[in-house]
């Protein structure tokens, strides 16, 4: 499904896009700011990354920082979540980062 979003085959609320990544609002947000950042390149999970993906992951982190600034969650804080595998809650087999903010969040998550 995320590959189709990256190719604009499925409509989504895209908030950022460049040649490497797409960021869009989650359809079932758990926080006022809930943005998913995905690589356009299909990577099934964080466990599928290797040395050649270092620049991509660095780029994703910088995009997350930019989006956190643009959504004004930097001052109060935000969370970045990456789930890996079914026991962690990964429902879509495409690497994705959740940017969550805009409310106080407890730890550990439920």
**Domain carrying residue 42:** 2-101
Q: What is the pLDDT of residues 9-20, one digit of tens each?
A: 999 999 999 999
Domain-located, residue 10: yes
* Active-site choice (34, 94, 96, 98): 96
Residue 110 has pLDDT above 70, yes or no: no
Domain-located, residue 108: no
The pLDDT score that the predictor gives to residue 26 is: 96
The pLDDT score that the predictor gives to residue 7 is: 87
Strands (E), the chain: 14-17, 21-25, 33-39, 78-81, 97-101
Domain-located, residue 31: yes
Domain-located, residue 110: no
Domain-located, residue 47: yes
CATH code where residue 69 lies = 3.30.428.10
Domain-located, residue 56: yes
The pLDDT score that the predictor gives to residue 81 is: 95
Domain-located, residue 106: no
Active site residue 87: no
Domain-located, residue 72: yes
């Amino acid at each position: 499904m995320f590959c189709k979003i990256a190719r604009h085959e499925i409509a989504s609320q895209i908030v950022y896009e460049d040649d490497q990544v797409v960021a869009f609002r989650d359809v079932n947000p758990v926080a006022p700011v809930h943005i998913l950042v995905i690589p356009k390149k299909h990577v099934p999970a964080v466990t599928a990354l290797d040395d050649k993906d270092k620049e991509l992951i660095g780029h994703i982190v910088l995009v997350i920082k930019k989006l956190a600034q643009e959504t004004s969650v930097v001052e109060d804080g935000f969370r970045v979540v990456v789930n890996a595998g079914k026991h962690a809650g990964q429902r879509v087999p495409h690497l994705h980062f959740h940017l969550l903010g805009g409310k106080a969040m407890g730890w550990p998550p439920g």
